[in-house]
Amino acid sequence: MEQAYDLVANQLQLTCTGCSDNCCDSYFQHHTYLEWSYLWQGLYQLPSGQQRLILQKAAEYERRCESAQLRGEIPGVMCPLNESGRCILYMHRLMVCRTHGVPATMVRPDGKILRFPGCFRCQELVDRSYPDGREIPVVERTSLLRRMVVLEQKFLGGKRHLLPKVKMTIAAMVLAGPPTMVHCSDRQQGEVHGNSDRLIRE
């Protein structure tokens, strides 16, 4: 995944250094138990005081996003993991965070091709270097997503179909605690659940 991103970013000479924009205020929802668990693996490595601060920021994030959605707006709230413009869990960032920014394509199950132009800085670089819009380097996400599905199935012991679907922001994953693997038959259908104790390691 990182190799695919770096290859395209290098071809476009795209870096985040000095960028006045910040992709971490983009509104994304994530869909795998694997990433949810991986995020918490990173959180557990932080000091307990920093974990508590992130929990507070995550709660504020969710409140602000809910308010924006009630106004009919797409939320643009800084991720609770962003500190001084950088992700404090960079090595544990999720797939969307790892691939966002560069041009990308994805083939849906129905065969429709989706195209993503990249961040604002990337689009400016593309406009200058590829004015005819041809042969623009892209990250092809389909194979990455398929690999994620395989890893998710393996992580869940082949029981993904028995669990509620995940559709959560990073903040929601933080507030829910690390995921617990409880089947739909044991909980209200459609409920996504984590460890409500959210034990913070001292």
**pLDDT tens digits, one per residue of 33-65:** 999 999 999 999 999 999 999 999 999 999 999
Spatial contact of 126 and 103, defined as CB atoms under 8 Å apart = yes
Question: What's the domain count of the chain?
Answer: 1
- Taking 70 as the threshold, does the pLDDT of residue 190 lie above it? no
Decide if 74 is inside a domain: yes
Decide if 35 is inside a domain: yes
**Rounded CA separation 101/182 (Å):** 35
Confidence at 16, pLDDT banded by 50, 70, 90: confident
Decide if 202 is inside a domain: no
What's the mean pLDDT in 22-27?
Answer: 92
57-75 burial, b for 16+ CB within 10 Å, e for fewer?
A: bbeebbeebeeeeeeeeeb
Instruction: Tell me the percentage of the chain whose pLDDT exceeds 70.
Output: 89
Decide if 73 is inside a domain: yes
What's the mean pLDDT in 126-148?
Answer: 94
Structure confidence at residue 18 (pLDDT): 83
| Residue numbers of the domain that contains 160 | 25-186
Decide if 31 is inside a domain: yes
Taking alpha carbons only, the member of 8, 32, 3 closest to residue 146 is 32
Decide if 7 is inside a domain: no
